[in-house]
Amino acid sequence: MEDQKFLEELIKMLVNNPKDVKVVRTVNEKGVLLTVDVNPEDIGSLVGKQGKNITSIRHLVRMIGLKNKSFVSVRLNQPEK
């Protein structure tokens, strides 16, 4: 749960519409999956140039997972067009 709260707070600081941020945590045999939904306007800034922002976010969350001895991955949901 620490990973979910950290990710949610981090993303809320980075986007223009923090009220629209939703993080869902699911656990399976492979580890923990954190699925992120944000306002469609915030996707670009969250991903960053060449995906550098989302890559950094995933790295930070994985480090928290390692601290808790679990594999944590982050999936950013793409908005419907």
Instruction: Kindly report the CATH number assigned to the domain that includes residue 12.
Output: 3.30.300.20
Evaluate whether residue 48 is within a structural domain.
yes
Sole residue written with tokens 């399976």 = 28
Beta bridge partners of 25: 34
Evaluate whether residue 81 is within a structural domain.
no
Number of domains observed in the structure of the chain = 1
Contact 34, 75 (CB under 8 A): yes
Domain membership of residue 61 as a residue range:
2-76
Beta bridge partners of 23: 36
32/18 Cα distance (integer angstroms): 23
Residue-level pLDDT at 75: 93
**pTM (two decimals):** 0.87
**In one letter, which amino acid is 26?**
T
Across the chain, which has 81 residues, the per-10-residue mean pLDDT values are: 89 93 91 92 90 93 89 86 58
Evaluate whether residue 51 is within a structural domain.
yes
Residue-level pLDDT at 58: 93
